[in-house]
Amino acid sequence: MEALELADFERAARDRLPAEIWDFVQGGSGAERTLAANRARFEQCRLRPRTLVDVSATDQGLTLLGSRLETPIGIAPMAYHRLFHPEGEVATARAAGRAGALMVAGIFASRTLESIAGAATGPLWLQLYWLRRRDALAALVERAEATGFRALVLTVDAPRIGRRLRDARNGFAIPAHVRAVNVDQAVMAASHRAGHGSSGIADHAKEQFDPTLTWADLAWLRARTRLPIVLKGILTAEDARLAVEHGVDAVLVSNHGGRQLDGALPSLAALPEVAAAVPPNLPVLLDGGVRTGTDVALAVALGARAVLIGRPLLWGLAVDGENGAAQVLDLLKAELDDTLALLGRPRLADLDRTAVAPETPDGRH
Ligand SMILES: Cc1cc2nc3c(=O)[nH]c(=O)nc-3n(C[C@H](O)[C@H](O)[C@H](O)COP(=O)(O)O)c2cc1C
Protein backbone atom coordinates (compact mmCIF):
# COMPACT_ATOMS: atom_id res chain seq x y z
CA MET A 1 0.00 0.00 0.00
CA GLU A 2 1.30 3.43 -0.98
CA ALA A 3 0.55 5.60 2.06
CA LEU A 4 1.26 9.32 1.97
CA GLU A 5 -0.52 10.30 5.17
CA LEU A 6 -1.89 8.51 8.22
CA ALA A 7 -5.43 8.88 6.85
CA ASP A 8 -4.47 6.33 4.18
CA PHE A 9 -3.83 3.78 6.94
CA GLU A 10 -7.07 4.76 8.64
CA ARG A 11 -9.11 3.99 5.51
CA ALA A 12 -7.28 0.72 4.86
CA ALA A 13 -7.71 -0.42 8.48
CA ARG A 14 -11.41 0.35 8.41
CA ASP A 15 -11.78 -1.88 5.34
CA ARG A 16 -10.03 -4.74 7.10
CA LEU A 17 -11.45 -4.71 10.63
CA PRO A 18 -14.80 -6.10 11.85
CA ALA A 19 -17.24 -3.26 12.60
CA GLU A 20 -17.29 -3.75 16.39
CA ILE A 21 -13.49 -3.73 16.62
CA TRP A 22 -13.37 -0.61 14.44
CA ASP A 23 -15.84 1.05 16.83
CA PHE A 24 -13.79 -0.03 19.85
CA VAL A 25 -10.69 1.63 18.38
CA GLN A 26 -12.14 4.78 16.91
CA GLY A 27 -14.77 5.53 19.49
CA GLY A 28 -14.75 8.02 22.32
CA SER A 29 -17.10 8.50 25.24
CA GLY A 30 -20.47 10.26 25.38
CA ALA A 31 -21.09 12.61 22.45
CA GLU A 32 -17.40 12.24 21.47
CA ARG A 33 -16.87 15.97 22.01
CA THR A 34 -13.43 15.56 23.52
CA LEU A 35 -12.45 13.10 20.82
CA ALA A 36 -13.29 15.72 18.18
CA ALA A 37 -11.76 18.57 20.19
CA ASN A 38 -8.38 16.81 20.36
CA ARG A 39 -8.13 17.09 16.55
CA ALA A 40 -9.80 20.49 16.29
CA ARG A 41 -7.27 22.04 18.64
CA PHE A 42 -4.33 20.93 16.50
CA GLU A 43 -6.11 22.15 13.39
CA GLN A 44 -6.65 25.60 14.91
CA CYS A 45 -2.99 26.21 15.73
CA ARG A 46 -0.58 27.80 13.27
CA LEU A 47 3.21 27.73 13.08
CA ARG A 48 5.52 30.77 12.61
CA PRO A 49 8.23 29.72 10.15
CA ARG A 50 11.66 31.38 10.23
CA THR A 51 13.71 31.66 7.06
CA LEU A 52 17.36 31.64 5.99
CA VAL A 53 18.35 29.14 8.65
CA ASP A 54 20.78 26.32 7.79
CA VAL A 55 18.53 23.26 7.92
CA SER A 56 20.92 20.88 6.15
CA ALA A 57 21.11 18.74 9.30
CA THR A 58 17.78 18.16 11.02
CA ASP A 59 17.67 16.15 14.23
CA GLN A 60 14.61 14.87 16.07
CA GLY A 61 16.59 12.80 18.59
CA LEU A 62 16.26 13.26 22.34
CA THR A 63 16.92 11.70 25.74
CA LEU A 64 13.86 10.84 27.82
CA LEU A 65 14.12 9.54 31.40
CA GLY A 66 17.63 8.36 30.63
CA SER A 67 16.84 6.59 27.34
CA ARG A 68 18.08 7.76 23.96
CA LEU A 69 15.34 7.99 21.31
CA GLU A 70 15.57 8.76 17.60
CA THR A 71 12.23 10.55 17.64
CA PRO A 72 9.85 12.24 20.07
CA ILE A 73 7.02 10.14 18.59
CA GLY A 74 6.26 7.13 20.79
CA ILE A 75 3.50 4.55 21.12
CA ALA A 76 0.73 5.08 23.67
CA PRO A 77 -0.34 2.16 25.86
CA MET A 78 -3.25 0.30 24.34
CA ALA A 79 -4.85 -2.96 25.36
CA TYR A 80 -5.05 -6.11 23.22
CA HIS A 81 -2.91 -5.55 20.10
CA ARG A 82 -3.79 -9.07 19.01
CA LEU A 83 -7.23 -7.73 18.04
CA PHE A 84 -5.35 -6.17 15.11
CA HIS A 85 -2.66 -8.67 14.20
CA PRO A 86 -1.85 -12.18 15.45
CA GLU A 87 1.64 -11.10 16.54
CA GLY A 88 0.15 -8.31 18.64
CA GLU A 89 2.52 -6.35 20.86
CA VAL A 90 5.53 -8.34 19.64
CA ALA A 91 5.03 -6.81 16.18
CA THR A 92 4.56 -3.39 17.76
CA ALA A 93 7.77 -3.74 19.77
CA ARG A 94 9.75 -4.66 16.65
CA ALA A 95 8.29 -1.69 14.77
CA ALA A 96 9.16 0.66 17.64
CA GLY A 97 12.71 -0.68 17.64
CA ARG A 98 13.05 -0.11 13.88
CA ALA A 99 11.91 3.50 14.32
CA GLY A 100 14.03 4.19 17.43
CA ALA A 101 10.77 5.04 19.18
CA LEU A 102 9.50 4.54 22.72
CA MET A 103 6.84 1.89 23.25
CA VAL A 104 4.53 1.94 26.23
CA ALA A 105 3.00 -1.50 26.64
CA GLY A 106 -0.44 -1.72 28.24
CA ILE A 107 -1.28 -3.66 31.38
CA PHE A 108 -3.80 -5.54 29.20
CA ALA A 109 -1.24 -6.45 26.54
CA SER A 110 -2.10 -9.64 24.69
CA ARG A 111 1.51 -10.89 24.58
CA THR A 112 3.67 -11.59 27.63
CA LEU A 113 5.96 -8.90 29.00
CA GLU A 114 8.83 -11.30 28.41
CA SER A 115 8.04 -11.80 24.70
CA ILE A 116 7.53 -8.06 24.18
CA ALA A 117 10.88 -7.36 25.86
CA GLY A 118 12.47 -10.12 23.77
CA ALA A 119 11.33 -8.43 20.55
CA ALA A 120 12.20 -4.89 21.62
CA THR A 121 15.44 -3.19 20.67
CA GLY A 122 14.50 0.15 22.21
CA PRO A 123 13.10 1.36 25.52
CA LEU A 124 9.88 -0.08 26.90
CA TRP A 125 7.63 1.36 29.58
CA LEU A 126 4.70 -0.46 31.20
CA GLN A 127 1.30 1.14 31.80
CA LEU A 128 -0.72 0.16 34.89
CA TYR A 129 -4.31 0.58 35.94
CA TRP A 130 -4.85 0.56 39.70
CA LEU A 131 -6.48 -2.81 40.21
CA ARG A 132 -8.35 -3.68 43.38
CA ARG A 133 -6.08 -6.72 43.50
CA ARG A 134 -2.92 -5.05 44.81
CA ASP A 135 -1.12 -8.38 44.80
CA ALA A 136 -1.60 -8.56 41.01
CA LEU A 137 -0.30 -5.01 40.66
CA ALA A 138 2.72 -5.73 42.85
CA ALA A 139 3.51 -8.85 40.82
CA LEU A 140 3.39 -6.87 37.58
CA VAL A 141 5.74 -4.22 38.93
CA GLU A 142 8.22 -6.88 39.97
CA ARG A 143 7.98 -8.58 36.58
CA ALA A 144 8.37 -5.32 34.67
CA GLU A 145 11.58 -4.59 36.56
CA ALA A 146 12.94 -8.08 36.05
CA THR A 147 12.14 -7.93 32.33
CA GLY A 148 13.92 -4.64 31.73
CA PHE A 149 11.01 -2.19 31.43
CA ARG A 150 12.39 1.27 32.15
CA ALA A 151 9.42 3.18 33.58
CA LEU A 152 5.90 2.65 34.91
CA VAL A 153 3.03 4.71 33.57
CA LEU A 154 0.11 4.90 35.98
CA THR A 155 -3.14 5.84 34.28
CA VAL A 156 -5.06 8.16 36.61
CA ASP A 157 -8.03 9.20 34.45
CA ALA A 158 -9.88 5.90 34.71
CA PRO A 159 -11.39 5.20 38.14
CA ARG A 160 -14.15 3.76 35.95
CA ILE A 161 -14.63 3.57 32.18
CA GLY A 162 -16.22 6.47 30.28
CA ARG A 163 -19.61 6.01 28.64
CA ARG A 164 -18.46 4.55 25.35
CA LEU A 165 -21.75 4.33 23.51
CA ARG A 166 -20.45 2.51 20.46
CA ASP A 167 -19.19 -0.38 22.62
CA ALA A 168 -22.41 -0.40 24.67
CA ARG A 169 -24.57 -0.54 21.53
CA ASN A 170 -22.43 -3.33 20.11
CA GLY A 171 -22.44 -5.22 23.42
CA PHE A 172 -18.70 -5.36 22.84
CA ALA A 173 -16.57 -7.91 24.67
CA ILE A 174 -13.00 -9.01 24.03
CA PRO A 175 -13.11 -12.23 21.94
CA ALA A 176 -12.04 -15.34 23.82
CA HIS A 177 -8.93 -15.96 21.72
CA VAL A 178 -7.40 -12.59 22.66
CA ARG A 179 -6.29 -12.45 26.30
CA ALA A 180 -4.63 -10.01 28.66
CA VAL A 181 -1.98 -12.64 29.33
CA ASN A 182 0.00 -10.75 31.98
CA VAL A 183 -2.83 -10.62 34.49
CA ASP A 184 -4.48 -13.44 36.43
CA GLN A 185 -7.35 -14.70 34.23
CA ALA A 186 -9.78 -14.52 37.15
CA VAL A 187 -9.19 -10.75 37.18
CA MET A 188 -9.89 -10.52 33.44
CA ALA A 189 -13.01 -12.71 33.02
CA ALA A 190 -15.55 -9.85 32.86
CA SER A 191 -13.82 -8.34 29.77
CA HIS A 192 -14.89 -11.37 27.77
CA ARG A 193 -18.59 -11.24 28.69
CA ALA A 194 -20.92 -9.19 26.51
CA GLY A 195 -22.82 -6.69 28.63
CA HIS A 196 -26.48 -5.67 28.58
CA GLY A 197 -26.47 -2.13 27.22
CA SER A 198 -22.92 -1.96 28.51
CA SER A 199 -19.64 -3.46 27.34
CA GLY A 200 -17.27 -6.04 28.71
CA ILE A 201 -14.66 -3.28 28.99
CA ALA A 202 -16.86 -1.10 31.22
CA ASP A 203 -18.17 -3.99 33.30
CA HIS A 204 -14.67 -5.30 33.83
CA ALA A 205 -13.41 -1.94 35.07
CA LYS A 206 -16.36 -1.60 37.43
CA GLU A 207 -15.46 -4.95 38.92
CA GLN A 208 -11.65 -4.73 38.98
CA PHE A 209 -10.48 -1.07 39.04
CA ASP A 210 -10.05 0.52 42.46
CA PRO A 211 -12.00 3.80 42.49
CA THR A 212 -10.73 4.74 45.96
CA LEU A 213 -7.27 5.59 44.59
CA THR A 214 -5.96 8.99 45.79
CA TRP A 215 -2.64 10.86 45.80
CA ALA A 216 -1.75 9.20 49.11
CA ASP A 217 -1.69 5.79 47.43
CA LEU A 218 1.21 6.76 45.18
CA ALA A 219 3.53 6.12 48.12
CA TRP A 220 2.61 2.42 47.90
CA LEU A 221 3.80 2.25 44.30
CA ARG A 222 6.86 4.42 44.96
CA ALA A 223 7.93 2.07 47.77
CA ARG A 224 7.73 -0.93 45.45
CA THR A 225 9.88 0.20 42.57
CA ARG A 226 13.07 1.95 41.62
CA LEU A 227 11.64 2.68 38.18
CA PRO A 228 10.57 6.20 37.22
CA ILE A 229 6.82 6.77 37.61
CA VAL A 230 4.86 8.65 34.95
CA LEU A 231 1.27 9.80 35.60
CA LYS A 232 -0.97 9.49 32.54
CA GLY A 233 -4.10 11.60 32.33
CA ILE A 234 -3.06 14.95 33.83
CA LEU A 235 -4.99 17.90 32.34
CA THR A 236 -4.63 20.72 34.88
CA ALA A 237 -1.90 22.80 36.52
CA GLU A 238 -3.31 21.81 39.93
CA ASP A 239 -2.80 18.10 39.31
CA ALA A 240 0.58 18.73 37.69
CA ARG A 241 1.76 20.47 40.87
CA LEU A 242 0.42 17.64 43.05
CA ALA A 243 2.20 15.13 40.82
CA VAL A 244 5.49 16.97 41.40
CA GLU A 245 4.85 17.17 45.17
CA HIS A 246 4.28 13.41 45.19
CA GLY A 247 7.59 12.73 43.53
CA VAL A 248 6.55 11.53 40.08
CA ASP A 249 9.20 11.59 37.37
CA ALA A 250 7.11 12.73 34.40
CA VAL A 251 3.53 13.57 33.49
CA LEU A 252 1.55 12.62 30.40
CA VAL A 253 -1.04 15.17 29.36
CA SER A 254 -3.89 13.04 28.09
CA ASN A 255 -7.66 12.67 28.05
CA HIS A 256 -7.34 9.02 27.04
CA GLY A 257 -7.99 9.87 23.40
CA GLY A 258 -11.44 11.22 24.29
CA ARG A 259 -12.48 7.89 25.79
CA GLN A 260 -12.97 8.92 29.43
CA LEU A 261 -14.53 12.26 30.54
CA ASP A 262 -16.47 13.56 27.58
CA GLY A 263 -16.28 17.36 27.59
CA ALA A 264 -12.78 17.34 29.05
CA LEU A 265 -10.49 19.84 27.42
CA PRO A 266 -8.34 18.78 24.47
CA SER A 267 -4.82 17.70 25.43
CA LEU A 268 -3.10 20.38 23.37
CA ALA A 269 -5.14 23.07 25.18
CA ALA A 270 -4.11 21.65 28.58
CA LEU A 271 -0.43 21.35 27.68
CA PRO A 272 0.77 24.95 28.27
CA GLU A 273 -0.64 25.17 31.81
CA VAL A 274 0.75 21.76 32.76
CA ALA A 275 4.18 22.58 31.30
CA ALA A 276 4.23 25.89 33.20
CA ALA A 277 3.33 24.18 36.49
CA VAL A 278 6.22 21.68 36.62
CA PRO A 279 9.97 22.26 36.98
CA PRO A 280 11.63 22.77 33.56
CA ASN A 281 13.57 19.50 33.81
CA LEU A 282 10.51 17.33 34.49
CA PRO A 283 9.40 15.74 31.22
CA VAL A 284 5.88 16.50 30.04
CA LEU A 285 4.45 14.18 27.38
CA LEU A 286 1.22 14.50 25.42
CA ASP A 287 -1.16 12.17 23.64
CA GLY A 288 -4.52 12.60 21.92
CA GLY A 289 -5.10 13.47 18.27
CA VAL A 290 -1.49 13.51 17.05
CA ARG A 291 -1.79 12.66 13.35
CA THR A 292 0.88 14.68 11.49
CA GLY A 293 4.42 15.98 11.83
CA THR A 294 2.95 19.46 12.22
CA ASP A 295 1.00 18.23 15.26
CA VAL A 296 4.19 16.86 16.81
CA ALA A 297 6.02 20.16 16.27
CA LEU A 298 3.10 22.12 17.79
CA ALA A 299 3.06 19.90 20.88
CA VAL A 300 6.82 20.12 21.37
CA ALA A 301 6.74 23.90 20.87
CA LEU A 302 4.00 24.22 23.52
CA GLY A 303 5.95 22.25 26.11
CA ALA A 304 5.91 18.52 25.36
CA ARG A 305 9.22 16.64 25.44
CA ALA A 306 7.60 13.83 23.45
CA VAL A 307 4.21 12.74 22.11
CA LEU A 308 2.53 9.34 21.94
CA ILE A 309 0.25 8.06 19.21
CA GLY A 310 -2.64 5.73 19.91
CA ARG A 311 -5.10 4.77 17.18
CA PRO A 312 -2.76 5.34 14.18
CA LEU A 313 -0.42 2.65 15.45
CA LEU A 314 -3.30 0.17 15.55
CA TRP A 315 -4.29 1.13 11.99
CA GLY A 316 -0.77 0.26 10.85
CA LEU A 317 -0.83 -2.99 12.78
CA ALA A 318 -4.19 -3.95 11.25
CA VAL A 319 -2.99 -3.17 7.73
CA ASP A 320 0.34 -5.01 7.79
CA GLY A 321 1.52 -6.06 11.25
CA GLU A 322 5.07 -5.04 12.13
CA ASN A 323 5.64 -3.46 8.71
CA GLY A 324 2.43 -1.44 8.83
CA ALA A 325 3.21 -0.18 12.34
CA ALA A 326 6.77 0.68 11.27
CA GLN A 327 5.43 2.56 8.23
CA VAL A 328 3.11 4.63 10.42
CA LEU A 329 6.05 5.65 12.60
CA ASP A 330 8.30 6.31 9.58
CA LEU A 331 5.68 8.47 7.90
CA LEU A 332 5.23 10.63 10.99
CA LYS A 333 9.00 10.88 11.45
CA ALA A 334 9.43 11.99 7.82
CA GLU A 335 6.68 14.58 8.23
CA LEU A 336 8.30 15.90 11.41
CA ASP A 337 11.65 16.11 9.63
CA ASP A 338 10.07 18.20 6.84
CA THR A 339 8.30 20.36 9.40
CA LEU A 340 11.51 21.10 11.32
CA ALA A 341 13.29 22.09 8.09
CA LEU A 342 10.49 24.25 6.68
CA LEU A 343 9.91 25.86 10.06
CA GLY A 344 13.57 26.91 10.23
CA ARG A 345 14.02 25.05 13.53
CA PRO A 346 16.16 22.05 12.66
CA ARG A 347 16.46 20.57 16.15
CA LEU A 348 13.74 19.75 18.69
CA ALA A 349 15.42 22.07 21.17
CA ASP A 350 14.81 24.95 18.72
CA LEU A 351 11.06 24.56 19.18
CA ASP A 352 9.60 26.91 21.75
CA ARG A 353 6.42 28.96 22.09
CA THR A 354 7.67 31.50 19.55
CA ALA A 355 7.19 28.77 16.93
CA VAL A 356 3.40 28.96 17.44
CA ALA A 357 1.21 31.88 16.37
CA PRO A 358 -0.22 33.39 19.59
CA GLU A 359 -3.74 33.77 18.27
CA THR A 360 -5.68 30.75 17.20
CA PRO A 361 -8.81 31.33 15.08
CA ASP A 362 -11.01 31.01 18.16
CA GLY A 363 -9.04 33.76 19.88
CA ARG A 364 -7.49 31.58 22.59
CA HIS A 365 -4.12 30.00 22.94
C1 LIG B 1 -8.06 0.72 21.42
C2 LIG B 1 -7.48 1.55 22.51
C3 LIG B 1 -7.08 0.96 23.70
C4 LIG B 1 -6.53 1.72 24.72
N5 LIG B 1 -6.13 1.10 25.87
C6 LIG B 1 -5.54 1.84 26.85
C7 LIG B 1 -5.06 1.21 28.03
O8 LIG B 1 -5.15 -0.01 28.18
N9 LIG B 1 -4.49 2.00 28.98
C10 LIG B 1 -4.37 3.37 28.83
O11 LIG B 1 -3.84 4.04 29.72
N12 LIG B 1 -4.80 3.98 27.71
C13 LIG B 1 -5.40 3.25 26.73
N14 LIG B 1 -5.81 3.88 25.59
C15 LIG B 1 -5.60 5.34 25.43
C16 LIG B 1 -4.24 5.62 24.77
O17 LIG B 1 -3.16 5.31 25.63
C18 LIG B 1 -4.08 7.11 24.40
O19 LIG B 1 -4.28 7.91 25.54
C20 LIG B 1 -4.98 7.59 23.27
O21 LIG B 1 -5.31 6.55 22.37
C22 LIG B 1 -4.28 8.71 22.51
O23 LIG B 1 -5.11 9.31 21.58
P24 LIG B 1 -5.07 8.98 20.00
O25 LIG B 1 -5.65 7.63 19.83
O26 LIG B 1 -5.95 10.06 19.46
O27 LIG B 1 -3.65 9.09 19.49
C28 LIG B 1 -6.38 3.13 24.56
C29 LIG B 1 -6.77 3.72 23.36
C30 LIG B 1 -7.31 2.95 22.34
C31 LIG B 1 -7.71 3.63 21.06
* CATH code of the domain containing 64: 3.20.20.70
pLDDT tens-place values along the chain, 365 residues long: 789 999 999 999 999 999 999 999 999 999 999 999 999 999 999 999 999 999 999 999 999 999 999 999 999 999 999 999 999 999 999 999 999 999 999 999 999 999 999 999 999 999 999 999 999 999 999 999 999 999 999 999 999 999 999 999 999 999 999 999 999 999 999 999 987 788 999 999 999 999 999 999 999 999 999 999 999 999 999 999 999 999 999 999 999 999 999 999 999 999 999 999 999 999 999 999 999 999 999 999 999 999 999 999 999 999 999 999 999 999 999 999 999 999 999 999 999 999 999 865 555 54
Residue 95 lies inside a defined structural domain of this protein: yes
Q: Which residues of 32-44 are buried (b: 16+ CB within 10 A; e: fewer)?
A: bbbbebbbebbeb
Q: What angle do CA 198, 157, 228 make, to 5 degrees?
A: 135
Query: Which of 234, 259, 291, 313 to mutate to test ligand 1, by most ligand atoms within 8 A of the CB atom?
Result: 259
- Residue 264 alpha carbon to ligand 1 centre in Å: 15
* Closest C-alpha among 310, 293, 327 to residue 94: 327
Please tell me the predicted confidence (pLDDT) of residue 196.
77
In-domain check, residue 362: no
pLDDT at 238: 98
> Looking at residue 360, what is its pLDDT?
59
281 part of a folded domain: yes
pLDDT value of position 195: 74
| Of 359, 187, 343, 162, residue with least CA distance to 261 | 162
With respect to residue 357, please indicate whether it lies within any of the assigned structural domains. Answer: no
Instruction: Assess whether the C-beta atom of 37 lies below 6 angstroms from ligand 1.
Output: no
State the residue range of the domain holding 215: 6-345
- The pLDDT score that the predictor gives to residue 198 is 87
**Domain count of the chain?**
1
CA 323, CA 91: separation in Å to the nearest integer?
A: 8
Do the domain assignments include residue 230? yes
pTM equals: 0.97
- Check if 192 is active-site: no
- Is residue 363 included in any domain, yes or no? no
Residue 353 placed within a domain: no
Residue 154's H or E segment, with its range, is: strand 151-155
318 touches ligand 1 (CB under 6 Å)? no
* pLDDT tens string 254-266: 999 999 999 999 9
Whether 1 maps to a domain, the answer reads no
Q: Are 208 and 191 in contact (CB under 8 A)?
A: no
